[in-house]
């Protein structure tokens, strides 16, 4: 069924797009985004039950055969993240977890010490861990060694839409780990999703860029196309950069006018 | 309320409630999250698996967290 996808420890990611549901205005919009992107995986956060919630997001995701990837968003310590992951596993009956351990509420950047500790504990408990991490290649390597099934470096802070601030580091991570690299956070528009794929990422996770776009379903479709374009460009092999021009028309046979 | 039972105070998702002694986790979930699926419960920082809900009685001053999946990430 999956024409262009990636399988990460059994998690089948259609079109190499993991959909973040954060910021989506309604379940109706979410349905249209899923249809437009053809996403097969979506993240959810774990929060206190609310008496006012009518329909669960799980019903929407189930109706579209979307696999749920719970996250540990909002956790600031390994202890909180591990407990949240265990509660998500208990509630949703999945071993997959997108591990987030945040260091600071202004930047929402990962606290890599706590992240690594939580990843080790969760691996021992049988989880399949997808860690949201910095663009540091050494930390990515350590997370792989801790048993994570993928690494998810940021392009820029969550929700910033600043694109990939250090593309070389992303390329270094792709080169240095053997698990799939999923670019997570920072993508603002379609060209930046293509950029991630051109750098050799196996996929991208996009939330805000789609859910907070003026037309979320249209942006979802744009992202799908951008990921395909970027992936194909990566596989096709780009030309080397040159300082000066290199004529594409032949130099022989130029008329003497 | 007029059950003749002794009331005790517990915290549910950060709010204090008086409940009958002997109330189980299953009763509490039914009351606070009747139509919500994908629920997990922790008491004082320890998960109570679904299989234990019916037999786990709440204790005075315990801190219950009932969480579920929402849009996020």
B14 at A interface, C-beta within 8 A: yes
Q: Give the containing element (helix H, strand E) for B27.
A: helix B25-32
Checking DSSP bridges between strand B63-71 and strand B46-48, what pairing results, if any? unpaired
Q: Quote the CA–CA distance of A73 and B73 in Å, as a whole number.
A: 7
**pLDDT per position as a tens digit, A218-227:** 999 999 999 9
pLDDT band of A30, cuts 50, 70, 90: very high
* pLDDT over threshold 70, residue A99: yes
Mutate to test the interface with A, among B44, B48, B73 (most CBs of A within 10 A): B73
Percent of chain A with pLDDT over 90: 88
The CA distance from B15 to the nearest CA of chain A, in Å, is 11
Structure token digits, residue A82 = 């591990």
B73 in contact with chain A, both atoms CB, cutoff 8 A: yes
Tens digits of per-residue pLDDT, A132-181? 999 999 999 999 999 999 999 999 999 999 999 999 999 999 999 999 99
Cβ of A43 within 8 Å of Cβ of B40? The answer is: no
Interchain pair B73, A57: CB under 8 A: no
Q: Which of B17, B35, B71 to mutate to test the interface with A (most CBs of A within 10 A)?
A: B71
pLDDT at residue A94 greater than cutoff 60: yes
**Domain B7-68 class in CATH:** alpha beta
Burial (CB count within 10 angstroms: exposed 0-12, middle 13-18, buried 19+), residue A112: buried
Please state the pTM of the whole predicted model.
0.91
Residue B68 touches chain A, beta carbons under 8 Å? yes
Looking at the complex, report in whole angstroms how far the Cα of residue B68 sits from the nearest Cα belonging to chain A. 5
Specify the residue for token string 């310590």.
A77
| A52 pLDDT more than 80 | no
ipTM exceeds 0.90, yes or no: no
The H or E element that residue A73 is part of is none
d(CA A135, CA A77): 20
What local confidence, expressed as pLDDT, does residue A123 receive? 98
Does A87 touch chain B if contact means CB atoms closer than 8 Å? yes
Q: Does B52 touch chain A (CB under 8 A)?
A: no
Mean pLDDT over each residue of chain A, to the nearest integer = 94
């Amino acid at each position: 069924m999956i024409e262009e996808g990636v399988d990460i420890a059994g998690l089948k990611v259609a079109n190499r797009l993991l959909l973040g549901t954060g910021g989506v205005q309604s379940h109706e919009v979410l349905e249209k985004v899923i249809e437009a992107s053809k996403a097969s995986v979506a993240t959810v956060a774990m929060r206190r039950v609310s008496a006012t919630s009518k329909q669960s997001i799980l019903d929407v995701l189930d109706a579209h055969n979307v696999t749920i990837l719970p996250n540990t968003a909002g956790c600031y310590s390994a202890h909180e993240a591990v407990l949240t992951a265990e509660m998500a596993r208990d509630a949703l009956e999945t071993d997959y977890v997108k591990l987030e351990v945040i260091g600071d509420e202004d930047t929402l950047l990962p606290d890599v010490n706590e992240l690594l500790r939580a990843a080790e504990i969760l691996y021992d408990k049988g989880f399949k861990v997808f860690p949201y991490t910095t663009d540091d290649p050494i930390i990515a390597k350590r997370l792989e060694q801790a048993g994570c099934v993928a690494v998810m470096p940021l392009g820029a802070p969550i929700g910033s839409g600043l694109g990939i601030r250090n593309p070389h580091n992303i390329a270094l991570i792709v080169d240095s780990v053997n698990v799939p690299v999923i670019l997570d956070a920072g993508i603002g528009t379609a060209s930046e999703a293509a950029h991630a794929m051109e750098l050799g990422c196996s996929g991208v996770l996009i939330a805000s860029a789609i859910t907070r776009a003026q037309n979320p379903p249209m942006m979802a479709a744009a992202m799908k196309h951008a990921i395909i374009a970027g992936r194909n460009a990566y596989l096709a092999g780009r030309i080397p950069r040159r300082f000066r021009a290199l004529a594409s028309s032949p130099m022989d046979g130029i008329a003497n006018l | 309320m007029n059950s003749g039972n002794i009331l005790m105070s517990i915290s549910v998702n950060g709010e204090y409630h008086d409940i009958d002694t002997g109330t189980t986790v299953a009763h509490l979930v039914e009351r606070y999250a009747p139509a919500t699926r994908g629920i997990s419960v922790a008491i004082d920082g320890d998960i109570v698996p679904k299989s234990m809900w019916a037999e786990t009685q709440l204790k005075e001053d315990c801190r219950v967290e009932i969480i579920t999946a929402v849009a996020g990430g």
